[in-house]
Amino acid sequence: MKKLKSWAGNVTWRPKIVHRPRDEQEIAEIVTRVAESGDRLKAVGSGLSWSDINEVEGQHLLLLDWMRTIDVQADARRVRVQGGAVMSDIQRTLTEHRLALDNIGSILTQTAAGYTGTGTHGSGTPLLSTCIEEMRLVDGSGRVRELSPSSEPEIFSAARVHLGCLASLRRSRSVVAMPSISRSGERSSRSIEPLLIWGEP
């Protein structure tokens, strides 16, 4: 039984089987097979979460590291990615088209599915999850669903930030991108004394 660790190394998993699907059909087949066997299946991205939410002791683990397609629609300012696409690769690809995500965190090793599914807040608001316009999802029975605000809107809303509670896996999604801009900043250390106002309350 292979031992896997989280990104921070504070959580370990010992799954019975690690699945690495290459396409949506293979995901659906794996989910269906595991569901019929009565076992549990957990999809894990880069394991950045410090919690035990990905606990799969003796069960099935699904990784998306072979599903990283990034398709930029520059004129429409949209990007469609597979769940295993890494955020740093998405940013780099968008930059080539003079585009950028509206909100991004400082750690870019996360997968797209993990970043949005955990509601990672990045540099502020809005959450990147709220910029998702549509997605394809393989649910817990192996059925592929097309989700959007107009197609199964309640499931779509829950799937954008699901924390793995839907027992399902998102395969690809369309996200709004913004024109890229250059940002620079300066850091320095200063005394806090001049900023304090002393006196009676």
- 70-179 in CATH: which number? 3.30.465.10
Domain boundaries, the chain: 4-63, 70-179
Q: How far apart are CA 21 and CA 63, in angstroms?
A: 7
Task: Supply the CATH classification number for the domain 4-63.
Answer: 3.30.43.10
pLDDT band at 151 (very low <50, low <70, confident <90, very high): very high
Q: Does residue 186 surpass a pLDDT of 70?
A: no
Burial track 162-188 (b if 16+ CB lie within 10 A, e otherwise): bebeeebbbbbbbbbbeeeeeeeeeee
User: Can you spell out the DSSP letters for 25-40?
Assistant: HHHHHHHHHHHHHT--
**Residue 45: per-residue pLDDT:** 78
This prediction's pTM: 0.79
The SS3 assignment for 138 reads strand
Q: Compute the C-alpha angle 90/94/97, nearest 5°.
A: 155
